[in-house]
Amino acid sequence: MEGYQSGLETGDIEWASYNCMHYCKNLFISGKELELVEKEQASYQSVIVKTIMNSRYTMHKFGCRQR
């Protein structure tokens, strides 16, 4: 997970999150056991949730400014 680590090191949480999501998606698509996929998703969940919340906050912030 080079991309994930790179995102964390540079403070780019969004990049780290996208790498997590694609990593977990690829585990699923490649036929890995669902227990492994679930475990990996759980381990990266906080990063993904943080990105989603930041994205929604940003959209809300800019949406309010346009009015």
Q: Over range 24-32, report the average pLDDT.
A: 95
- What is the reported pLDDT for 59? 61
- What is the reported pLDDT for 61? 63
Question: Is the model's pLDDT at 66 over the cut of 60?
Answer: no
Question: Is the model's pLDDT at 37 over the cut of 90?
Answer: yes
- What is the reported pLDDT for 30? 97
The count of domains in the chain is 1
Cβ-count burial of 16 within 10 angstroms (0-12 exposed, 13-18 middle, 19+ buried)? buried
HEC string of 1-67?
A: CHHHHHHHHHCCHHHHHHHHHHHHHHHHHCCCCHHHHHHHHHHHHHHHHHHHHHHHHHHHHHHHHCC
Q: Over range 26-44, report the average pLDDT.
A: 94
For the entire predicted model, the pTM comes to 0.67
Which residues constitute the domain of residue 48? 2-65
Question: Is the model's pLDDT at 36 over the cut of 80?
Answer: yes
